Structure 1
Amino acid sequence: MSRIVIVGGGAAGIELSTLLAKANRKKHEIILVEPETDHYWKPRLHEIAAGTFDRELDSVCYFTHGAINGYQHYQAAMTDIDRENKMLCVRRNDGTEAAVKYDYLVVAVGAVSNDFNTSGARDNCIFLDSASQARHAWNKISQLLREGDDRTVNIVGAGATGVELAAELARVSHKLQRYNAAKLTINLIEAADRVLPNSPQKMSAKVLKELQRTNINVLLNTRISEVSEHGMVTADNQSLEADIQFWAAGVKAPEWLKGVGGLEYNRMNQIIVNANLTTTVDDSIFSLGDCASIPQADGSFVPPKAQAANRAAVHLSKSLTSLLRGKELTDFEFKDGGMVVAVGHHFAVGSFAPQSKMANKLVFKGRLIRRLYDTIFRLHQRTVEGMFTVSRLIITKRLKALFQPNGM
């Protein structure tokens, strides 16, 4: 019997743990090392920050989920890797140190926002890299809404996270006006010349139009040079005062990860791996998701997307299971299926076939695309919890929506 230890309970980690446990039940031991108690799908952290996330229906308890599906949740955070003795060094939540023996190790700790060493950003902005940060954000936002006076929110970064957060906050502010809540003025700040700079031009244009329709101030070609407690200063010395500030620009692997275990890393702190997801210096250690630099046959690298992490988890579950049965590992090939961005709770914009010449034409918007956005999340839930549970959750959520007093 082999012991497979997976570090990180994000989209990739929990899916891989679930799939490996189901494929190798009682044949091999699967351990998920994760310091949090519950799993949240990272693309929906902006809903937690805006107070619109249903924790009862859309989160997963690692302990009970592991018990049901055949893996063990070990609540701790990775601190180092002793490759010589195949031991994962961890710190439990009570501060004590421990070690977990492994035969195969998978690192899937995700990524965090990149503040590009902007002065004051780390101390004066809220980052949405974890559920705890998102909950902290909602505590601050809800306090502002209760105070009644007009308030200002600065959001740096008009990628998917920044756009979705701005739109959701605008919607919440508008809906709660009937209860005399504060009106939020939202500044969405982007250094590039368009929102969603990595998406097709047509998609950026549609999203910008919808953001402006909801009275969000979109500031393009605006680079932040300094952040203070009460505002930001741009590179051209413009002052942007705010009551609460978010940083949602850039992506990199966590700073603490670089150097761990003597593995090979790039300048974004990502673990450099081979196409079969093994690390370049140790073939018993794998990495996937946003914390891994995964090469593709054409010389490019897998982008930091939730869909890429999900597909890599599915691939590695099959490939590693084959290895345990005496077969060879296979290479991971990612084919981008496009992206869907929620612009408010009832509207989304989607781009499909991004590698095609038709990419800029296959852009759609509206409520139907918003349904597709929700479906992507349900597909993740189906992998983790099964179709029966997902069906039950959908029905329960729709019934709850009928009785929400604020119409949100």
Structure 2
Amino acid sequence: MNIVIIGAGYGGLRAVEKLIKNKNIHITLIDSNPYHYMQTEAYGYIAGKYDICDITVDIKQWCIGFSKDIKFINEEAINIDPLQYEIETTNQTIKYDKLIIATGAKTNFPIFIDGLEENTYGVKVLDRAYELKTKFEHIIYKKVRHSGDKKFNVIIGGAGLSGVEIAAEMAYISKKFTKSSGIKYSNISIILIEAYDSILNGMDQYIINNTMKRLKSLGVDVMTKSFISSVQKDKVILQNNDEIEYDFMIFTGGIKADGLNDTFDVEKNKLNQFIVNKYLNINGYHDIYAIGDCAQIQDKNGNFLPPTSQIAEQCAQNVAKNIIATINGKKLEAYEGHIDGMFVALGGHYAVGNILNKFKVKGYLAYLLKKVITKMYHYGLILRLNNGYKLRK
């Protein structure tokens, strides 16, 4: 059976890992990028905590590491022909028996906020994360080169998980810079703007409360119930007509699916995500699955699940299991998604989170637990990658 997986994010790679174990399956993995980008660690990369090698993995070498029937095509998938069971990429046409779409999503810049996309940065793609990292380092450099009273404002629009983690890490790095250099960081302001009544809207109250305490201790200016009306090249204008000047602005206010979601004419929600059934099939196509951020994912009770790496990997495991069940003539299992826990990195060696929605942790212990989870994931990829290098020698 020929399985085509489009997208080498968290869901796409997990699907490969689960399906490759079956000897009757040939896998083709397609992605326009030659690397896997660990978006969950973007906050640390942007603030200078991590290097690019800490958050990326070479996909081709990773695939070679399996030493099995898998092919990586470094091209963009541009069209699906479900009647002919074909994928069109920039240079070729590929046949499939089963198709898994795991293309993720991009930053959603609401069109009603004038100037937002033109003047801000998103973090969903590595190119933009790199630009942000360079920009933040330049601000620190200017403080060293021209120590004085000039203020530097960094605005982060959206106080969800990404926005909060980036704000905390930037504030922590700024404070650390002060202690090590003696140059005052007080003129570097990190401003977090959120339209909802609270940061981390919808998350556990324990996480929200402790995150707020940590942000305040780091000197982050948190503005809730604040609606951005427009963004100019050097200032943000709020709905109440207040103006805030900035040196650069990051926007993390939500996601929107793109790519194949634009070209494949099937049912989608207002965020352009594919509508899927309980088996994660796109409605009307039992041989096409959509997982992760590119799809509207629900739990068994019909509640929408957040676009996280955890959910993407759960979806991948469920789809892989059902594809193998189909091959073996066994019963399919409906996806019953759930959040096993959540951690929020809050600068330095500090985090807050819960495990299985029962055990609540904060501080250094939470940081260690989050680090272990991240390292286990990364080391798993690196081990496979190193095996690929060995096979090529």
- TM-score of the superposed pair, with normalisation by structure 1: 0.86
CA distance in 2, matches of 1:320, 1:129: 29
Give me the whole-angstrom Cα distance separating, in 1, the residues matched to 2:355 and 2:57.
Answer: 30
- Which residue of 188, 191, 195 maps to 1:184? 188
Question: Is residue 1 of structure 2 the alignment partner of residue 6 of structure 1?
Answer: no
Deviations 1:272-303 (A, max 9, x none): 11111111121111111111123433222333
Deviates more, 1:376-385 or 1:265-274: 376-385
Residue 135 of structure 1, aligned match among 130, 136, 151: 130
Amino acid at match of 1:209: K
Q: TM-score, structure 2 length as denominator?
A: 0.89
1:316-327 map, 5 Å: 316-327=319-330
Q: Point out the more displaced range, 121-130 or 181-190.
A: 181-190
- 21, 24, 39: which one pairs with 2:22? 24
Alpha-carbon distance in 2 for matches of 1:313, 1:384: 16
Partner of residue 208, structure 2: 204
**Matched residues in 2 for 1:303 and 1:244: separation?**
28
Distance in 2 (CA, whole Å) between partners of 1:16 and 1:384 is 14
The answer to whether structure 1 residue 110 and structure 2 residue 104 are counterparts is yes
Distance 1:8 1:252, change over 3 A: same
- The residue correspondences of 1:125-164 to structure 2 (distance < 5 A) are 125-148=120-143, 149-164=150-165
How do residues 251-330 of structure 1 correspond to structure 2 at under 5 angstroms?
251-254=255-258, 256-330=259-333
Supply the distance in 1 between the matched residues of 2:320 and 2:75 (Cα, whole angstroms). Answer: 23
Cα contact 2:154–2:248 (8 A) shared by 1: yes
Shift of residue 259 of structure 1? 4.5
Structure 2 residue 89 is matched with structure 1 residue 90:
yes
The 10-residue stretch of structure 1 (363-372 or 239-248) with the greater mean CA deviation from structure 2 = 363-372
Any unmatched runs of 5+ in structure 1?
Answer: 92-96, 390-408
Secondary structure (helix, strand or coil) at the match of 1:154 reads strand
Q: 1:43 aligns with which of 28, 40, 44?
A: 40
Amino acid at match of 1:157: G
Does the alignment pair 1:364 with 2:361?
A: yes
Q: Distance in 2 between matches of 1:159 and 1:62?
A: 29
Alpha-carbon offset, residue 385 of structure 1: 4.9
After TM superposition, the structure 1 stretch with the greater mean CA deviation from structure 2, 157-166 or 380-389, is 380-389
- Matched pairs, number: 375
Q: What does residue 80 of structure 1 align with?
A: 79
Distance in 2, matches of 1:98 and 1:280, equals 27
- Cα RMSD (Å) of the superposition? 2.2
Aligned residues of 2:64 and 2:385 also touching (Cα < 8 A): no
1:306 and 1:242 map into 2 onto residues whose CA distance is 31
| Greater RCO, 1 or 2 (C-alpha within 8 Å, sep 6+) | 2
Q: Tell me the distance in 2 between the aligned counterparts of 1:279 and 1:105.
A: 10
Tell me which amino acid in the other structure corresponds to 2:284: V
226, 234, 238: which is aligned to 2:238?
A: 234
Distance in 2 (CA, whole Å) between partners of 1:102 and 1:272 is: 21
Q: Secondary structure at the match of 2:169?
A: helix
Q: Does structure 2 retain, via aligned residues, the 8 Å contact 1:146–1:181?
A: no
CA distance in 2, matches of 1:15, 1:353: 21
Letter matched to residue 50 of structure 1: A
Q: What does the per-residue CA deviation read over 1:325-354, in whole Å, with 9 as the maximum and x for residues that have no partner? A: 333432111122231100012000113444
**Offset from partner CA, 1:301-321 (integer Å, 9 cap, x none):** 333222111111222222222
Amino acid at match of 2:103: V
Work out the CA distance in 1 between the residues paired with 2:321 and 2:57: 23
Q: Secondary structure at the match of 1:153?
A: strand
**1:216 lines up with 2:220 in the alignment:** yes
Work out whether residues 195 and 220 of structure 1, in 8 Å CA contact, stay in contact via their aligned partners in 2. Answer: yes
Contact 1:226 1:233 in 2 (8 A): yes
For residue 387 of structure 1, report the CA deviation from its aligned partner. Answer: 9.6
In the alignment, structure 1 residue 53 sits paired with structure 2 residue 50 = yes
Distance (Å, rounded) in 1 between the aligned partners of 2:380 and 2:321: 14
Query: Aligned partners of 1:173, 1:137: CA distance in 2, in Å?
Result: 15
Deviation digits for residues 100-137 of structure 1, max 9, x if unmatched?
A: 22111110111223222211110000000111211111
